[in-house]
Amino acid sequence: MNDPLPPLQPAWRRYPALYAALWRNSVTREMQFKANFLLWIVVEALWFALQLGFMSVVYGHTESIAGWNRWQVILLVGCSHLIQQVFTAFFLTNISDLSEHIRTGRLDFMLLLPVNTRFLISFRKVDLGAFVNAASALAVVIWALRHLGHTPGALEVVAFLGLCVAGLIIHYSLMFLLSSAAFWIVRAQGVVWGYYNLFNIARIPESAVPQGLFRRVFTLVLPMLLVSNVPAQTLLGTLRSPWHPLLLLGLSVVCFAVSEWVWRQSLRRYSSASA
């Protein structure tokens, strides 16, 4: 008598093992180029130190900017760098590679694999050095809190982490959406890296930006002013409006939904590199 067939496993159970394999591949790849790995950690650390040094120069001439003192702004810069480095660790290289997948035909093979193609594109590589830089950013946030004499409560910490995740989703969704332009213009790295440079806006205190078109665009269309400001204000306990966290969470859902819709429309247009 034949043994009964094993029960079919839900498709989602394949993904943890697949992601673990992608992590192992990333570690192997990074360790093959140790000098490059260490160099980029140093470069990012110097860039972060330069930003903090610039803030020290600015606050050497004033006590407050739009209601933000020196250590509050240092905390804001730390929050911005933390979100940026976590994004870099998980997504930056993967999303910027999408245009090359399309141009070289690698996307054809990805579409044939029995996994979600967007998952594979988004999580294919991990930048391990960015985790080191994210840890240094978190250390700066804690350092700033100590100088401010403020100890956030458990609820504030949980809200801070949740809002950082929402900001991360916004960055991921918008950059993935822009990278999908490669289905039309083939090489979209310029568009992707142009968006990445806009991350610097997240380090500006929202209240320091005058009312007008710039503030509306970078609050509602490309919500850079919310991504770091809202988590930082939550951690500091200085939120001026309870609507800002809800707006950030809502925009994260909207941005992801729009990026998914554009991705699906792009795939319908795609006719493979060999066509």
Range of the domain at 127: 37-269
Please provide the DSSP assignment of 138-163 as one string.
HHHHHHHHHHHT----HHHHHHHHHH
Q: CA dihedral in degrees (166, 170, 176, 177; nearest 10)?
A: 140
Task: Give the chain's domain count.
Answer: 1
pLDDT at 182 over 90: no
Q: What does the pLDDT read at residue 274?
A: 57
* pLDDT tens digits along 50-102: 888 888 888 888 888 888 999 999 999 999 999 999 999 999 989 988 888 88
| pLDDT computed for residue 161 by the predictor | 95
CA 157 to chain centroid: 19
**Mean pLDDT for all residues in the chain:** 86
The model's confidence at residue 138, banded by pLDDT at 50, 70 and 90, is very high
Higher pLDDT, 23 or 159: 159
| Residue 63 falls inside a structural domain | yes
Instruction: Please report whether residue 8 resides in a domain.
Output: no
At 209-260, the pLDDT tens digits run 888 888 888 888 889 889 999 999 999 988 877 889 999 999 999 999 999 9
Q: Would 20 be classed as within a structural domain?
A: no
Residue 4 lies in a domain: no
Whether residue 2 is predicted with pLDDT greater than 50 in this model: the reply is no
Q: Which of 212, 220, 214, 211 is nearest to 243 (CA)?
A: 220
Quick check: is 23 in a domain? no
Q: pTM for the full model?
A: 0.88
Q: Classify residue 32: in a domain, yes or no.
A: no
Does residue 6 belong to any structural domain of this protein? no
> Which residues on adjacent β-strands are paired with residue 68?
65
| Token reading at 41 | 């950690």
C-alpha to C-alpha distance for 142 and 148, rounded to whole angstroms: 10
Range with lowest mean pLDDT among 3-7, 11-15, 192-196:
3-7
177-181, 200-204, 218-222, 268-272: lowest mean pLDDT where? Answer: 268-272
Provide, rounded to the nearest whole percent, the portion of the chain with pLDDT above 90.
40
**pLDDT tops 70 at residue 25:** yes
Q: Got the DSSP string for 191-218?
A: HHHHHHHGGGGGGS-GGGSPSSHHHHII
Q: With beta carbons less than 8 A apart as the criterion, state whether 167 and 83 touch.
A: yes
Residue 247 sits at φ, ψ, to 5 deg, of -65, -45
**Residue whose C-alpha is closest to residue 81's, from 113, 118, 116, 55:** 55
Instruction: Examine residue 264 and state whether it is found in any structural domain, yes or no.
Output: yes
Give residue 204's pLDDT: 87
pLDDT over 50 at 1, yes or no: no
Tokens coding 121: 């594109």
Question: Tell me, what's the pLDDT at 5?
Answer: 40
- Output DSSP code: residue 13: G
Question: Residue 136: pLDDT above 80?
Answer: yes
Rounded average pLDDT over 38-51 = 84
Cα(258)–Cα(260) distance, rounded to whole angstroms? Answer: 5
Distance from C-alpha of 164 to C-alpha of 158, rounded to nearest angstrom: 10
